[in-house]
Amino acid sequence: MRYISTRGQAPSLDFEGVLMTGLARDGGLYVPEQWPTFKPAEIERLAGQTYVQAATTIMQPFVGDCLGQAEFSQLIQKAYGTFVHPAVAPLVQLGPNLWLLELFHGPTLAFKDLAMQLLGLLMDRSLQRSGQRATILAATSGDTGAAAVEAFKNREAIDLFVLFPDGRISPAQRRQMTTSHAPNVHPIAVKGTFDDCQALVKTLFGDEAFRDAVQLSAVNSINWARIMAQMVYYFTAAAALGAPHRTMRFTVPTGNFGDIFAGYAAMRCGLAVKRLTVATNANDILARALATGRYEPRAVVPTASPSMDIQVSSNFERLIFEACGRDSGRVRALMAEFAAKGAFTLAASELASINSVFSAHRVDEAETARTIARIYRDTGTMADPHTAVGLAAAAKEEDDPSSPMIVLATAHPAKFPAAMEKAVARLPEVPERLQKALSGEEQYAALDGKAEAVRRFIVERARIAQQGGRS
Ligand SMILES: *Cc1c(COP(=O)(O)O)cnc(C)c1O
């Protein structure tokens, strides 16, 4: 399997290449050169398989020759061995045709663990084989950073730097990043928003000398391997509810468009998906873009669902690439317009192609709180604010008894106790794995939002830089 950049001007790479590279050198994102196809009989067989078996089947074509099936399966087993639920990603029925796909049973209680636990093992294996070191730079709206710390802490070949927006994530999210005390983990509070953090990452990736000097790598959802790992639960959930004999609808609490793009990728690989619904909070650039074709960020407003307080959704570029018939010149033109004018407008045909699969709804703060209360009253389930945005958006879709509605539950409510208490006047139970982070002593740096300061901070601390290059 080869991967190509959405902007068409970076070399094509194999799986190991995209795993270690993250963002393409032309500023684009890597996508498979061709979508593999799973036949209906293969999808049917997933029902009844363990998560590890299904994950091996779904991901193997994307890994290609880079890993043998036996070794790959062992890594997958190890990655999901850290989950407390034996099903890894269980389905819970909330209504006659409504299901929650619980993705928060990993070490940091958010769906980011499903990809990050595997990414940590894959990257570590690759570096050990080549005898090199790498520096990982991540921007986080809260959960990616925690998942990355958990996946990369104390790894000999990797130094991890995580930029988070100061004061704009929940205390539990921050503490999960700042209490590891691992010498290779460097959380950095940045004055600004998540978009500022993400822009810093992109700026530093654009500095080729720096990038090469510290062997910079990315674990944000711009890294294809994350999307790949997230495709698996779309398949397992659909197979459990009757795919390939029934079509499925998914509603996904969306920020950077990575998780829902994994659903789109699953569809392109043969899963019968009838509708993918983007659920946004007040930061509704995607809902506006799907309604009008105009992609135009506004100021980020803080909400009770901070992991979705994003206005520049990186992975949307992957969808645009598909919607314009994989015309990388067109993607370059739109992204150049975005860089120059801060907005772009999709052609009517591109928008129509997107809207044939996707719908989108914006859910404000009051409706999110009402939804948490309603779901708790009707089912006894505590939905965290991100999941509640998803549930509220799903409720705006038409009833369709022929096609189950699956809402992705992206975080455990205990990560957002203040919002939960406000909505249902009760605190969620705190799982043991979170209790440890809540009581530990915090260590992190604070920097202004300037790329130069972050670059210097990394050069001073990344072990590879101190060795003057290769280890
Ligand atoms: C990251 C995150 C999201 C958004 O996922 P994207 O892939 O960025 O769209 C939603 N909910 C939670 C809890 C998250 O951590």
If one residue of 108, 251, 259, 391 were mutated to test the ligand 1 pocket, choosing by the most ligand atoms within 8 A of its CB, it would be 259
Tell whether the model's pLDDT for residue 185 goes beyond 90. Answer: yes
- What's the average model confidence in pLDDT over 128-143? 93
* Spatial contact of 225 and 18, defined as CB atoms under 8 Å apart: yes
Q: From 365, 374, 379, select the one nearest 418 (Cα to Cα).
A: 365
- Give residue 381's region: left, alpha or beta (phi > 0; psi -120 to 50): beta
> Minimal CA–CA distance to 67: which of 126, 21, 119, 20?
126
What domains does the chain contain, in order, with CATH numbers?
91-108+225-424 (3.40.50.1100), 133-220+441-471 (3.40.50.1100)
> What Rg do the C-alpha atoms of the chain give, in angstroms?
21
Asked if residue 264 has pLDDT above 70, the reply is yes
CB neighbours (10 Å) of residue 17?
A: 16
pLDDT tens digits, residue range 192-250? 999 999 999 989 999 999 999 999 998 988 899 999 999 999 999 999 999 999 999 99
Using one digit for the tens of pLDDT, what is the confidence trace for 336-356? 999 999 999 999 999 999 999
The arithmetic mean of pLDDT across residues 282-305, rounded, is 96
Whole-number pLDDT of residue 468: 55
**Sign of the C-alpha dihedral, residues 109, 192, 386, 278?**
negative
User: Residue 339 — φ and ψ, nearest 5°?
Assistant: -65, -40
The tens digit of pLDDT for each residue in 325-335 reads 999 999 999 99
**CB of 226 closer than 8 Å to CB of 115:** yes
Q: Is 112 in the active site?
A: yes
Confidence of residue 23 (pLDDT cuts 50, 70, 90): confident
Q: Whole-angstrom Cα distance, residue 77 to residue 86? A: 12
DSSP codes, 107-147: TTSBTHHHHHHHHHHHHHHHHHHHT--EEEEEE-SSHHHHH
**Using a 6 Å CB cutoff, which residues line ligand 1?**
110, 112, 143, 221, 253-259, 307-308, 386, 410-411
Residue reference for tokens 């406000």:
422
Mean pLDDT of 99-117: 97
Q: How far is CA 227 from CA 139, 269, 401, in A?
A: 17, 13, 29
- Catalytic pick among 112, 191, 341, 436: 112
Q: Report which protein residue has its CA nearest ligand 1's atom 14.
A: 307
Name the residue type at position 350.
E
Q: Kindly state the tokens that stand for 243.
A: 């795919």
Examine the pLDDT at 469 and tell me if it is beyond 50: no
Distance CA 96, CA 22 (A): 41
For ligand 1, mutation pick of 194, 315, 386, 407 (most atoms within 8 Å of CB): 386
Distance from residue 256's CA to the centre of ligand 1 (Å):
7
